Copies of this chain bind each other. A is one copy, B any other.
Amino acid sequence: MDEQHANSHYSPSRFRTPDGAPTDIVVFTITSEVKKGVKKSLPNRTLRVMLIRRKQWPFEGQWALPGGFTRETETVQACARRELLEETGVSDVHLEYFNVYSSLGRDPRGWMISHAFFALVQEGYLAGRTTSDEASEVHLFPVDEALSMALAFDHRIILQDALDQIRRKMLTTAIAKEFLPEQFTISELYQVIRTVVPTFEERNFIRKITSTRSRKGILEEVLDRNGQPLMSNRYSQRPAQLYRFTDYAPELSIYG
């Protein structure tokens, strides 16, 4: 294990080294329920986070974020991607590093420096793994509910930080697309934003987002083969124009 430390100039090996570099992954998803008894209407959407009930010490029986220990053969990003695949079965989703947690005593097993990621996953991708069975070892909790629970380790803090991050990014980047199909209506987009950031409110949302000049084209209209506007009536009587995100990322500034 110490073959790489042969060089006598290497002083840090005289000190204690970390007992592990785990990753913690905050998996967010938005679930949709159709309003019952109503005709075609927009679904009720809920921002949820995936938690796993721990089976062993420490924090046995408590809910915790999924994650695991980084191996010497992988980067922390690769570890997060591997753990996400192992625990949820999903790959090719938005997975982003956001902070490190190293407070003393955060893990009774020893000196653990944890790297926290958030993942944004479509509800459909998690099919089967997260039944509504409350006795399950894996469950999707509404974020508000999860924040009020006694989670393992410092996972409540990590969850809160992750939530702050995706709220900021929801308004300043196009990550809303991670919760939407490739083609969507303006109302769907608005609903997704509001589900993550309840304080967001724009009366004339459709005006602003579709006024090409100012937004410079964050969205573009979807056209069919004949160049005609493509509409959807999935959530409404009257068909609505479908849009998709472009690659354009506007630069934000407080100065102009």
Query: What residues of chain A have their CB less than 8 Å away from a CB belonging to chain B?
Result: 1, 4-5, 7, 9-10, 12-13, 15-22, 56-58, 69-77, 97, 99-100, 102-104, 108-111, 113, 115, 171-174, 193, 200, 202, 205, 208-209, 215, 218, 250-256
Contact = CB atoms under 8 A, between A and B. Distances in A.
A253 B174 CA distance: 10
A254 B174 contact: yes
A4 B109 contact: yes
What is the predominant secondary structure among interface residues of chain A facing chain B?
A: loop
Given A4-B108, A18-B20, A202-B256, 16 more contacts: A5-B110, A7-B109, A13-B19, A13-B110, A16-B71, A17-B19, A17-B21, A73-B104, A74-B104, A76-B100, A76-B102, A76-B113, A97-B99, A202-B255, A250-B254, A252-B254
A99 B76 CA distance: 11
Nearest to A173: B254
B109 A205 contact: no
A187 to B, nearest CB: 14
